[in-house]
Structure 1
């Protein structure tokens, strides 16, 4: 069932621009007769005239809205200088109301163009259907009908122009929730490595559970890839790395490791390199982003360690890859555990808790309960130490000087971090990243 209607009047033929009030009135009248429009939200998208204010545009279109009292509280006119700006503003309105099924009524010549904008600014969470607004220019009339032809692929140069317009608009947006903040470890030498762990501030993601520096997009979330790319661009500028040489693990909650420069596995939770200029990253939104650095051999790595990956030994698999590929010595490798869910908050079913209890009973709290509390950080440290990493070369929340602690509980700090455990399925993601300086 359609939840919202978008009427695209952004680019009408020139001879109809002066009759936009009549056009809008006729469209609303037609829709109202054809559907139960009173139950829907309606958004009218139009071009803001150069030098005009939004209020002026609203007043200009107001006569066309008369007679539609049932729509007054559900109808909004969105005027902007670009299609990207108008459509992204409408996306914000849809997200505020948690609406996902949208009917788009637009001139036939705009349909293929609009689909490109939608593909970039929306994810698979949303469903769109289209109706053609057929404009008959000689008599300045219109009719609404089902699409008359299959969509055609736009020329690549047109797609590139749309991408550029979207990028420029997103770059112009202000940062939300404060300045971009990066947490850094004193264990990793900053004269050799560039590294850090992100927090949730300083990006442009506006959905509450994703706001604001979300760094992961999926078909199940409302943050599109272009927004995540803009957040990453801002992070790269602040941190000083090249976003075009950025390699994030392809999470599988297992223990495969990718060696930069060799054949890339389909999925992997660890990645290592000894090449300068490549920034390696691991996500975390309760799972641990783990960073690895060998200042002697000048090699580094990153790993994503959730409870499954921890039990499968993904951290030691990453260490072993550094030893095997680059001749690293265990005693030289430094390991830093980033923000992740702590034993104060994280529970697992008793059967899964047994596996952590076997590693060390101290990894489980209230073991006899149906859902014991689990310490995946302690388990990670124990497995690293058993594998040959020196205890002094591991930084986590157990360090003596808590002023140096960067392994905060993500679930306990909603102002600083995202948490899948706390926020549910539409959660944001922070990362740990590392590279070798030139």
Structure 2
């Protein structure tokens, strides 16, 4: 059962008022049927596609809107200059109401292009059901009435490029939310050798509250599509000084596999190490620890994602071992920085899992006898790194005495700065730690 109805009435240029009125009368029956079956919202998109003639658009829309207000008081007209703008505007309205089931009513010749826009701008959270207009309405072809001369069942490569360009151009025109990108840097990593940083929430275009605004990961279970994350990454790269086209994040598996860049890439890995210049590698984090590694002597760097499972599996030392084995690094030269992550103030596990951290060191757990003990995955990470030979002074975490130099802030405690799964639930955003070797 649809929660919302979305009607594509784009490319109205050249349509007569009489034709539009006939179309509205026909669509009125469809809308009444769907709203009677539970749909709470109806949106009518009026715009020009990238192929359309815009010359008479303004007058046509004014006529359409005035008639729509008479026919459907509960419908909302979304009028934009491009298809991408219209769809993105509707998506915001759907997200504000947390709606996911959409009935899409389209001219049949435009179905393929509409699907291409949906594939760009929506994730699998949204379920679209399509209904096409009949061949004619009171003797006239609706497709011809709407002036659609370019729709095809299968889009050409040029049409797909036009749609992608339309989306990218529109997203690129949006103002950044929450100011410009704010990047935290470690005092431990030498800036003359390595470009690095940990991102915060500001400076992107993601608007869903728990994803706003510099969300840097798209999931089929969340409402931010890949194109929005790509635009966020472009803005981050511009601010930080790296090329987003040469960007490689980990492919999280919550385990301890490390990819040595230059060797065959695994399907999933929680760490990357490289000696290649001009390549930015990154570890994702939204409570899990984004770890950055560097060896100033050999000019090698690494990034790893360490959640509680990865911590127990030793992903941090797995990255260190890869740097030593593949690039001849000395453990004594490797520097490690723990980025923003959930602190022991906010993170609990089952008693059974907490006991595994207690076995690493009792100081890693508080209230061990409770049903949900508090666990310090950062302390466990430091202990495992030191046991592996990393010098204590070569590890930066929340134990720094100068709090102004602390980049290992609690993600759950700082909603203004960071995303957090623990705090925000399943539709959470993601920040990153990134590093690259300076040319």
TM-score normalised by length of structure 2: 0.92
Q: How far off is 1:33 after superposition?
A: 4.9
What is residue 268 of structure 1 aligned with on the other side? 269
Q: How far off is 1:67 after superposition?
A: 4.4
Relative to structure 1, the CA distance from residue 284 to residue 30 in structure 2 (aligned partners, 3 Å threshold; closer, same or farther) is: closer
Q: Deviation digits for residues 125-178 of structure 1, max 9, x if unmatched?
A: 1111111123538944659xxxxxxx9431122111111110000000111122
What is residue 374 of structure 1 aligned with on the other side? 375
What is residue 148 of structure 2 aligned with on the other side? none
C-alpha separation between the residues in 2 aligned to 1:384 and 1:330? 10
Q: Deviation digits for residues 177-220 of structure 1, max 9, x if unmatched?
A: 22211000011000000000000111000011111110000110
- Do the aligned partners of 1:255 and 1:269 also contact (CA within 8 Å) in 2? yes
Q: How far off is 1:62 after superposition?
A: 2.2
- Do the aligned partners of 1:54 and 1:79 also contact (CA within 8 Å) in 2? no
- Do the aligned partners of 1:353 and 1:374 also contact (CA within 8 Å) in 2? yes
Relative to structure 1, the CA distance from residue 244 to residue 357 in structure 2 (aligned partners, 3 Å threshold; closer, same or farther) is: same
Q: Deviation digits for residues 73-113 of structure 1, max 9, x if unmatched?
A: x4210001110100010000001111111111111111011
What is residue 28 of structure 1 aligned with on the other side? 28
Structure 1 window deviating more from structure 2 (133-142 vs 411-420): it is 133-142
- Do the aligned partners of 1:249 and 1:268 also contact (CA within 8 Å) in 2? yes
State yes or no: 1:249 paired with 2:250: yes
What is residue 148 of structure 1 aligned with on the other side? none
What is residue 126 of structure 1 aligned with on the other side? 126
What is residue 117 of structure 1 aligned with on the other side? 117
What is residue 153 of structure 1 aligned with on the other side? 154
- Do the aligned partners of 2:251 and 2:270 also contact (CA within 8 Å) in 1? yes
Q: Deviation digits for residues 37-72 of structure 1, max 9, x if unmatched?
A: 67420000002795999999467512233244xxx3
C-alpha separation between the residues in 1 aligned to 2:65 and 2:435? 53
What is residue 394 of structure 2 aligned with on the other side? 393
SS of the aligned residue for 1:296 comes to: coil
Q: Deviation digits for residues 394-429 of structure 1, max 9, x if unmatched?
A: 000001111100110000000100000000001000
- Do the aligned partners of 2:248 and 2:282 also contact (CA within 8 Å) in 1? yes
What is residue 105 of structure 2 aligned with on the other side? 105
C-alpha separation between the residues in 2 aligned to 1:58 and 1:188? 59
- Do the aligned partners of 1:254 and 1:314 also contact (CA within 8 Å) in 2? yes
Paired positions, count: 427
Q: Following superposition of structure 1 onto structure 2, how do residues 269-288 of structure 1 map, counting pairs within 5 Å?
A: 269-288=270-289
- Do the aligned partners of 1:12 and 1:107 also contact (CA within 8 Å) in 2? no
- Do the aligned partners of 2:12 and 2:57 also contact (CA within 8 Å) in 1? no
What is residue 93 of structure 1 aligned with on the other side? 93
- Do the aligned partners of 2:334 and 2:390 also contact (CA within 8 Å) in 1? yes
Q: Following superposition of structure 1 onto structure 2, how do residues 274-423 of structure 1 map, counting pairs within 5 Å?
A: 274-423=275-424
- Do the aligned partners of 2:43 and 2:78 also contact (CA within 8 Å) in 1? yes
TM-score normalised by length of structure 1: 0.93
C-alpha separation between the residues in 1 aligned to 2:44 and 2:84? 14
SS of the aligned residue for 1:227 comes to: helix
- Do the aligned partners of 1:336 and 1:396 also contact (CA within 8 Å) in 2? yes
What is residue 149 of structure 2 aligned with on the other side? none
CA-atom RMSD, angstroms?
2.2
- Do the aligned partners of 1:22 and 1:64 also contact (CA within 8 Å) in 2? no
Q: How far off is 1:377 after superposition?
A: 0.3
Q: How far off is 1:281 after superposition?
A: 0.3
SS of the aligned residue for 2:412 comes to: coil
- Do the aligned partners of 1:84 and 1:165 also contact (CA within 8 Å) in 2? yes
State yes or no: 1:64 paired with 2:65: no
C-alpha separation between the residues in 1 aligned to 2:430 and 2:251? 14
Q: Where do 5+ consecutive residues of structure 1 fail to align?
A: 144-150
SS of the aligned residue for 1:411 comes to: coil
